[in-house]
Structure 1
Amino acid sequence: MNVEKINELLDRIERAENELYAELGRDAETIKCDFLKERIPLWRYIREGNPRYALSSPVIYAMILPAVVMDLSVTVYQAICFPLYDIPKVDRSEFIVFDRHRLEYLNALQKLNCLYCAYFNGLIAYVREIASKTEQFWCPIRHAEKVRGVHKRYWRFLRYGDGKDLKKRWMKLRNALKEEKEA
């Protein structure tokens, strides 16, 4: 395995992601919108909406309960365990961002939906980052099978079946977590 080549590719991906965020930030500055013309009044939004969507809303919004339980659970987990492992804590506010409700062209229901989606998707990203740091600490070994949608740390993990210098390389990955704390 060419570790240098993999690290070079991962660094390029990270630089490209940073460049993407910078470009999207510049693009956001150019957006102009006539808010009053774009907003769909709440009564019209509901009246013209698909009834099947309305019927599914109790199922969608019921998911908030397990989400809040998961949020509390992982927050307590990292508050207790990460200091014991000397892993830097994940800043929840970097993942769960509420800002779309300030968009003037959204009606009240659209804003509520945006708050829900921001919370739920941000929560999943927050939990994933906590889980990825935990995996890097306890089991930084890639799978034998192809896994879709892996987290950003995954490709730096040890290859499946490659036990050579296991403890040394495992400790190197643990130390990399500690270095994140210091950076």
Structure 2
Amino acid sequence: MTYQDVSIISVNAKTPVIHPSAFIAPGCRIIGNVTIGADVSIWYNCVLRADVSHIIIGARSNIQDGSVVHCDGPMPHRPEGFPTIIGEDVLIGHMAMVHGCTLADRAFVGLKATVMNGCRIGSDAMLAAGALLTENKEIPDRELWAGAPARRVRDIDDAQAAGMQMGVAHYVMNGRLHKAAIEG
């Protein structure tokens, strides 16, 4: 597969592994030990840099325009470092910062939100737009957190969880459309 205006860079003998069905938009930079699953979409001008640890992105997840995903390497208090693990069917909004954390299947990170080292966002849980989830915090399954620093707001109901999954389906289809348009 050929990617137009995309940097795919090997670092420390680690080369990104990208599933053939994934959509990687022009302007993206994919660096180091990154694994991208089936039907993932990485939108315009995102940076995924795994030069000191690793990043894994599960099937059908999307990382929207201008977002940055990074990880942290080994430290004396945490010899395994802080990899970034993104589950399946995850939505990450435009210009988000996702760093050294775990996003469970069906998690949602809002526009311009920041998730820091050691954090975990549970299944069907949401970090609201502009929120800051400080180090080592955990959002339990099906909770909405907002603010800076982020705090629990309420539970996610069935309708909102279903709406998030509609968003996932939209991004899978839209990624296929953009991929076809670019590949011509």
Q: Into which bin does the TM-score normalised by the smaller protein fall?
A: under 0.3
- The structure where strand makes up a greater share of residues is 2
Q: Which has the larger radius of gyration?
A: 1
Q: Which has the higher contact order (CA 8 A, sep 6+)?
A: 1
TM-score of the aligned structures, taking structure 2 as reference length: 0.19
Higher helix share: 1
